[in-house]
Amino acid sequence: MKPVIAICPGSYDPVTYGHLDLIERAARVFDRLIVAVLRNVQKEPLFPVAERVEMLKEATREFENVEVDVFEGLLVDFARRKNAGVVVRGIRAVSDYEYELQMALMNRKMEPRLETVFMLPAETFSFLSSSLVKEIARLGGSVQGLVPPHVEERLKAKVS
């Protein structure tokens, strides 16, 4: 059997423990997992792509079958270039499911060999999002326990 390559795409602005929970569990399921940072020129992220990649590489260095990469454009094109057959997406709530279902069906329409696997977060992280973490940090709240310590330090420096 050929190895199953999966992609876990996202903005990761910044990476949270919720992301890392999903990455760790997906890394146990698939032979190779590519954590793909989306470069979206239409959005204004808090962290530039290079910094998000650095934070992810540090946070995932213990996983031997995980690599961090960057993509822009269509996910299906990136998946073809990487010979990936699976997209892994986290679903926290019904609203996530509705959006992710639409994306999965469109990806399947464009590339029928690309499967989408939805994974639920650990209950501990079911409320967690990068947007919420950024808002807490901007308002001076503690993000300890929501992001790895090296991300917490960068967040504090960014919003100070």
Query: Is 130 tagged catalytic?
Result: yes
Query: Is 134 tagged catalytic?
Result: no
Going by C-alpha positions, the residue among 122, 148, 117 that lies closest to residue 133 is 148
Cα end-to-end distance, the chain, whole Å:
51
Query: Is 43 tagged catalytic?
Result: yes
Q: Which residue is catalytic, options 25, 32, 92, 108?
A: 92
Q: Which residue is catalytic, options 52, 130, 134, 154?
A: 130
Q: Which residue is catalytic, options 2, 43, 109, 160?
A: 43
Alpha-carbon Rg for the chain in angstroms: 15
Q: Which residue is catalytic, options 19, 52, 89, 154?
A: 19
H helices within 83-148, ranges in order?
Answer: 94-110, 130-138
Q: Please count the CA atoms within 13 angstroms of the CA of 36 that sit on its side-chain side.
A: 26
Asked if 11 contacts 89 with a C-beta cutoff of 8 angstroms, the reply is: no
Asked if 115 contacts 85 with a C-beta cutoff of 8 angstroms, the reply is: yes
* DSSP structure string for 59-88: HHTT-TTEEEEEE-S-HHHHHHHHT--EEE
Query: Is 19 tagged catalytic?
Result: yes
Q: Which residues are catalytic?
A: 19, 43, 92, 130
